[in-house]
Amino acid sequence: MTPNDNHKNNLRQIFWIWLVITAIGVAVGIYGTPWLMPTAASNTMHLSILTMVVFTVAAAPVAALVYAVVIVALTKWRYRGEGIPPDGPPIRGNNPATSVWLVVSTLLTVFLLVWGLALLAVDNGAESKSEMTIDVTGQQWVWTFGYAGTQVHSHDLYLPVDTDVKFEVTSKDVVHGFWIVQMGIKVNANPSAITTTAVTPNRLGTFDIRCTEICGLNHAFMVTRVHVLTKKNFEHWLASQPATN
Amino acid sequence: MTRIKAVVLSLASVALGAVVIAAAGIALAHAQPTQAPLHATDVGTSTITIDGAPRTVKHVALTIGAYPDSQFATVFGENGGAHPDWVAYSNNNLVVPKNSLVTITVNQYDGGETLNNPYFGHVIGTIDNVAWVNGQKVTRWDPDHVGHTFTMRGIPGSGRSIFVSVPIPPNDLVDVCDPAEPDSSICAPQGTGYYPKDPVVVKFSFYVGSKGVYQWNCEYPCGGTRIGQFGSAMSTYGYMSGTLTVK
C-alpha cells in the first residue's frame, strides 16, 4: 500500500466514524434534549428547548469530527515502539483545509449569533405588550408576589393562562435569582433596583420557582410554586384574597 | 512500573475518589440538627376541616421560647455556648406525629422593630389564618412592631406545599429589663443578664399530613449588622432557624 493509499484509507475511516457519531449526536439532540428539559409551560420555554435542540444538532458534526480524529489517532496512529517517538514531517500550509475551517466556523458562528439575537428580540418584545404586572420580592429566604392594581400579596404565585405577564423583580437584602423553571425565564433580583422580565404562560398546572443565586443559609429552601389557572379561576382567586399590603 | 500496576493504581485512585465523594454525600444527607429533638406532647383530638371536609385528628402541642440572648436558651450550653449574645429560639429540632393538628406556643422574651417586608406581619397558613397573642385572636400584627416571625415551608422536592408564617410580637419589657439592676418584680436574672418574667405568649395551629421534614426560620431581620441584617444568628443553624420533622 502506497502512502497515498494509506492517507485515503485514514480519511475514509475518519469519515465513517464521523458519520456514525454525527448521527448519534443528531438523534440525541432531536430526541434526548427535549426529554432532558422541563415540560414547557410557555412559548419562551418552547423556544429555549428548540434552541437547545438546534444548537445540539449544529454542534454534533463539529464534536463528531474531533471524536473521529481522536479515535483514529489513539487506535491507528498510536506509537507502539520503544522510547520517545520520532517527530513527524513538518506541515507548512494547507489552503483547502484552512479555507474549509474558516468558512464553516464563520457560518456556524453567524448562525448562532442571528438565532440568539432573533430570540432575544422575541423575548424583549413580550415585555412591551404585558397585560398584567407582578411585583416579585426576594428576601432571605422567601419569595413574595404582589399583584399590581390590588392589595393582594402571596407566597405562591398565581397566573392566568394565555396572558402576557410582566415581572418587576427586586430584593430586600442580597442578590437572588428569580427563575420560573418550566417557563424559561430567569432574572436577578437585586436590592434597591428593579429588573424586569415577561412571559405568557400557556399551560395550566403547577410549576416550580427557584432562587438561582446562592443567597445564604437557607438558599436551597428558597423555592415556591406558580399555579397557572384559567382566566376565570384566576379572577375568582384574586377576588377571594384578603388585602395583605 | 508495569502496565498492570499502572492500570490497578489508576482504578484504585478513581475508586478512592468515589468513596470519598460518596462518604461526604452520605454524611451531609444524614446531617441532623445538633440540638436534642423536642417532641410534641399529645393533647387529645380535634376536629378540623381538611380539603373541605371535617376530620377528627390527633392534636399535639409544642412550646418554644424566643430570647434576646442565647444564654437564656439552655440548649446552647452553659452561659449560652459559643455565641451568648445571639438572639435565639429555644429549640430548632421540633418533632411532631404525622396527620396531626400541631399547636405551637412561642413564649416571646425579645423586643422588636420593623419588618423589612410587611407581608410577614400577616398570619398565614394556620387554621383559619389566625393566631392568639396573650389570648387575643389576631390575623395580622403591626409590621413596624414585630419581634420575630415563625415562617415554615416544605423542603424542595418533597411535594409538600405547607407554608405557615406567624408574626411574633415584641416583648416591650425587654428594654425595661436591660439595665444592670432592673425591677425584680417584672424582670428575672438569667446568666449575666435579665429578661422579662412574663413573656408575650403566641399560639397558633396548623395541620401536618404525611411524614417529612419542613424548614422554618425567622423573617424579621435580627441577625446583626450585615446587609439585610441576616448575618450571625440568622445565618447559623440552631439560632433563628430549624426543622419540623413529621414522623
Question: Is residue B169 scored above 90 in pLDDT?
Answer: yes
pLDDT tens, residue by residue, B61-103: 999 999 888 777 767 777 777 777 888 898 888 999 999 999 9
The single residue listed with the C-alpha cell 411535594 is B159
Assigned C-alpha cell, A148 = 399590581
Collapsing DSSP to helix, strand or coil, A172 comes out as: coil
Question: Is residue B33 scored above 60 in pLDDT?
Answer: no
Assigned C-alpha cell, A109 = 458562528
User: What local confidence, expressed as pLDDT, does residue B34 receive?
Assistant: 67
pLDDT tens, residue by residue, A183-226: 999 999 999 999 999 999 999 999 999 999 999 888 988 999 99
The packing angle between helices A3-27 and A43-75, to 10°, is 150
- Quick check: B233 and B223 in contact, CB under 8 A? yes
The three state secondary structure string of chain B is CCHHHHHHHHHHHHHHHHHHHHHHHHHHHCCCCCCCCEECEEEEEEEEEECCEEEEEEEEEEEEEEECCHHHCHHHCHHHCCCCCCCEECCCEEEECCCEEEEEEEEECCCCECCCCHHHHECECCHHHCEEECCEEECECCCCCECEEEEEEECCCCCCCCEEEEEECCCCHHHHCCCCCCCCCCEEEECCEEEECCCEEEEEEEEECCCEEEEEECCCCCECCCHHHECHHHHCCCCCEEEEEEC
User: What local confidence, expressed as pLDDT, does residue B158 receive?
Assistant: 62
- A66: part of which helix (H) or strand (E)? helix A43-75
ipTM of the prediction: 0.81
Q: DSSP label at A184?
A: T
CA separation (Å) from A188 to A136, A143, A200, A218? Answer: 11, 13, 19, 18
Percentage, residues of chain A above pLDDT 90? 73
Shortest CA gap B78–chain A (Å) = 26
Confidence category of residue B227, pLDDT binned at 50, 70, 90: low
Collapsing DSSP to helix, strand or coil, A230 comes out as: coil
pLDDT tens, residue by residue, A48-60: 999 999 999 999 9
| Contacting residues of B for A191, CB less than 8 Å apart | 227-228
- CATH class of segment(s) B40-246: mainly beta
Query: Nearest residue of A to residue B226 by CA position?
Result: A173
Taking an 8 Å cut-off on Cβ atoms, the answer to whether A174 and B221 are in contact is no
Backbone angles phi, psi at A181, to 5 degrees: -60, -55
pLDDT tens, residue by residue, A145-186: 999 989 999 999 999 999 999 999 999 989 999 999 999 999
pLDDT tens, residue by residue, B118-131: 999 999 999 999 99
Check if A225 contacts B (Cβ < 8 Å): yes
Question: Is residue B135 scored above 90 in pLDDT?
Answer: yes
Q: What mean pLDDT, rounded, does chain A reach? A: 91
Check if A84 contacts B (Cβ < 8 Å): no
Check if B155 contacts A (Cβ < 8 Å): yes
- Quick check: B113 and B144 in contact, CB under 8 A? yes
Shortest CA gap A176–chain B (Å) = 13
The single residue listed with the C-alpha cell 389566625 is B130
Q: How far apart are CA A212 and CA A244, in angstroms?
A: 27
**Cross-strand partners of A225:** A208
Residue A68 burial by Cβ neighbours in a 10 Å radius (0-12, 13-18, 19+):
buried
Q: How far apart are CA A5 and CA A16, in angstroms?
A: 17
Q: How far apart are CA B129 and CA B126, in angstroms?
A: 5
Q: B 60-79 residues with CB below 8 A of A?
A: none
Check if B165 contacts A (Cβ < 8 Å): yes
Q: Which domains does chain A have, with CATH numbers?
A: 3-78 (no CATH), 130-240 (2.60.40.420)
User: What local confidence, expressed as pLDDT, does residue B159 receive?
Assistant: 54
Taking an 8 Å cut-off on Cβ atoms, the answer to whether B236 and A172 are in contact is no
Q: How far apart are CA B139 and CA B132, in angstroms?
A: 9
Assigned C-alpha cell, A215 = 443567597
- Quick check: A112 and A51 in contact, CB under 8 A? no
> ω into residue B216 within 30 of 0, thus cis?
no
CA angle A145, A146, A149 (to 5 degrees): 155
Query: Domain limits of chain B?
Result: 1-28, 40-246
Taking an 8 Å cut-off on Cβ atoms, the answer to whether A216 and B163 are in contact is no
Shortest CA gap B120–chain A (Å) = 9
Q: Which residues contact A116 (CB under 8 A, 6 or more apart)?
A: A51
| Contacting residues of B for A174, CB less than 8 Å apart | 227-228, 230
CA angle A208, A210, A212 (to 5 degrees): 145
Report, as an integer, the average pLDDT of B45-54: 89
Q: Which of B50 and A235 is assigned the larger pLDDT?
A: A235
Residue A64 burial by Cβ neighbours in a 10 Å radius (0-12, 13-18, 19+):
buried
The single residue listed with the C-alpha cell 380535634 is B46
Taking an 8 Å cut-off on Cβ atoms, the answer to whether B234 and A140 are in contact is yes
pTM of the prediction?
0.83
